[in-house]
């Protein structure tokens, strides 16, 4: 089937994706205690065994804005053998048990998936939360519990690329290092960011005033948020409560629970911004005022500036932890990179080398490493990646990442994924020796990457 040919699916398509998925099924089984015997609910224990031979999985396609996803449905019955012990006679003697066979009807979507053949392993079905409910108002003794049809799965680790050449986002499974989904957009994706909890990816469309939201569980577009024209960069506070988007000379604050803009404040002269690790301030690289400006995100007010020390600061990045940031500055070439203190806001020293224009500065998740990426221009600038030890603020390696335009680093700092828009590829490098592990074809012109 061709990528955009949905006609065959439409003929047999359920064409809905609004049924709520659930991995659990509650049950309630009445237990009749034989005449002349008693069960003390305070000491009674319930046990359940089960059989899933009559349970089957079906895959239901449904069409969304982003393409086809599949509702993975379990249908049929689970046979439960429910027992309660001890059962004693009227004199309090005996350690017997009583049992009841119960058939639980199952007909529900347990999750949505990008793959049609993504049925769960039925041998992993379990029963939890068994409770003995005492008889009351003529009702018998009851055993309740929950059938766990599918155990809670660890979130898949995905790498996302914003492909400006064909207006798509490629989704790479970081375990398989293959593209598992291509998500099309009507507007060009120019940048993106993944939330700290890895639940959502926010895609900026720099040719419009839109931000799209991808649900990383279903890999579908679930919302579009309007901001100022030309959104350029997004940052998330560490609690995943708010997202901050720089667009149209302002910072737009998005409430991530409701996925709506709740506040806007202007940042005159901003060419770049970064959020401090505590999520309380944004720091602006101000190319008009040749300053670095600190704004309180709660009030939107300018609270401090570093002035008269920078020449055309144009790039700024903060680590995930630490009281510092790196700022690229100088109006012409070559460029300096300067360390600044965030509290109190003050300028530190310059790195002991000059750079061509940096495309990006990326920190490892533990903030022990920073990666400065320059333009690759063989034969003049081959060693275009500079690895920084943030404890000593020194460059410890200079290596070659051909045609790399943007980077993202795995959580344990074992691999770097480099987007190469000229080649329509992503190359994976080991951080132990900076050698290429694999090359992954993606959409056209991957200009931004996030994990």
Q: What are 67-111's pLDDT values in tens digits?
A: 567 889 999 999 999 999 998 887 778 788 899 999 999 999 998
- 159 neighbors 426 (Cβ within 8 angstroms): yes
Average pLDDT over residues 297-317: 96
240: pLDDT confidence band, cut at 50, 70 and 90? very high
**Share above pLDDT 90 across residues of the chain, in percent, rounded to a whole number:** 75
Angstrom distance (rounded) from CA 120 to CA 111 = 10
Average pLDDT over residues 26-31: 94
425 membership: H or E segment, kind and range: strand 425-430
Question: What mean pLDDT, rounded, does the chain reach?
Answer: 91
Q: Among 143-147, 278-282, 377-381, where is mean pLDDT lowest?
A: 377-381
Give per-residue pLDDT as tens, 114-126. Answer: 678 889 999 999 9
Q: Which of 358-372, 375-389, 429-443 has the lowest mean pLDDT?
A: 375-389
Asked whether the predicted pLDDT for residue 64 surpasses 70, the reply is: no
Widest distance between CA atoms in the chain: 97
pLDDT of 344 higher than 50: yes
C-beta separation of 372 from 336 below 8 A: no
- Is the overall model pTM greater than 0.75, yes or no? no
Q: What is the mean pLDDT of residues 54-65?
A: 81
Q: Tell me, what's the pLDDT at 66?
A: 42
Q: Which residue ranges form the domains of the chain, and what is each CATH number?
A: 7-148 (no CATH), 356-451 (2.120.10.30)
Residue 166: left (phi > 0), alpha (psi -120 to 50), or beta? alpha
Say whether 436 sits in a helix, a strand or coil: strand
C-beta neighbour count of 49 within 10 angstroms: 11
- Complete edge-to-edge strand list for the sheet that includes strand 446-450: 178-184, 168-173, 158-163, 446-450
Residue 414 confidence (pLDDT) above 70: yes
- DSSP annotation of 88 reads E
Residue 60 has what pLDDT? 84
pLDDT at 34: 87
Instruction: Find the mean pLDDT for residues 143-147.
Output: 95
Q: Please tell me the least confidently modeled range out of 131-145, 233-247, 265-279, 392-406.
A: 131-145
- In the numeric block, which tokens belong to residue 299? 């009030």
> What angle is formed at CA 336 by the lines to CA 334 and CA 337, rounded to 5 degrees?
140
Share of the chain above pLDDT 70, in %: 94
153: left (phi over 0), alpha (psi -120 to 50) or beta: beta
pLDDT-derived band at 377, boundaries 50, 70, 90? confident
């Amino acid at each position: 089937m061709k990528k955009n040919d949905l006609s065959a699916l439409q003929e047999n398509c359920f064409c809905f994706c609004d049924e709520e998925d659930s991995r659990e099924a509650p049950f309630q089984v009445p237990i009749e205690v034989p005449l002349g015997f008693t069960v003390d609910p305070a000491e009674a224990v319930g046990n359940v065994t089960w059989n899933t031979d009559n349970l089957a999985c079906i895959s239901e396609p449904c069409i969304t804005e982003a393409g086809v996803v599949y509702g993975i449905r379990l249908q049929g019955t689970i046979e439960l053998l429910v027992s309660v012990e001890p059962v004693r006679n009227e004199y309090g003697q005996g350690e017997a048990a009583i049992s009841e066979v119960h058939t639980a009807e199952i007909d529900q979507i347990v999750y949505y998936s990008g793959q049609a053949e993504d049925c769960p392993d039925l041998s992993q079905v379990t029963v939890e939360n068994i409770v003995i409910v005492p008889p009351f108002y003529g009702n018998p003794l009851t055993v309740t519990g929950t059938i766990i049809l599918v155990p809670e799965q660890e979130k898949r680790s995905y790498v996302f690329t914003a492909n400006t050449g064909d207006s798509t986002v490629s989704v790479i499974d970081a375990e398989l290092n293959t593209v598992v989904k291509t998500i099309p957009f009507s507007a060009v994706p120019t940048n993106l960011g993944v939330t700290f909890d890895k639940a959502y990816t926010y895609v900026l469309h720099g040719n419009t005033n839109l931000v799209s939201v991808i649900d990383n569980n279903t890999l579908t577009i679930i919302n579009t948020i309007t901001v100022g024209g030309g959104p350029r960069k997004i940052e998330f506070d560490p609690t995943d409560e708010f997202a901050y988007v720089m667009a149209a000379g302002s910072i737009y604050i998005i409430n991530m629970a409701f996925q709506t803009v709740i506040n806007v404040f202007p940042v005159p002269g901003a060419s770049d911004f970064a959020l401090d690790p505590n999520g309380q301030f944004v720091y602006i690289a101000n190319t008009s005022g040749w300053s670095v400006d600190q704004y309180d995100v709660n009030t939107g007010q300018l609270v401090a500036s570093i002035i008269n020390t920078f020449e055309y600061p144009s790039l700024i990045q903060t680590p995930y932890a630490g009281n510092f940031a790196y700022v690229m500055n100088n109006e012409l070439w070559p460029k300096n990179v300067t360390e600044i203190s965030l509290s109190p806001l003050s300028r530190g020293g310059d790195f002991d080398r000059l750079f061509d224009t940096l495309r990006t500065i990326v920190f490892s998740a533990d903030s022990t490493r920073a990666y400065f990426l320059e333009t690759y221009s063989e034969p003049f600038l081959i060693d275009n990646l500079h690895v920084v030890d943030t404890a000593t603020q020194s460059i410890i390696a200079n290596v070659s990442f051909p045609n790399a335009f943007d980077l993202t680093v795995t959580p344990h700092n074992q691999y770097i994924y480099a987007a190469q828009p000229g080649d329509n590829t992503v190359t994976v490098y080991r951080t132990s020796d900076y050698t290429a592990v694999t090359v992954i074809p993606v959409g056209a012109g991957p200009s931004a990457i996030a994990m």
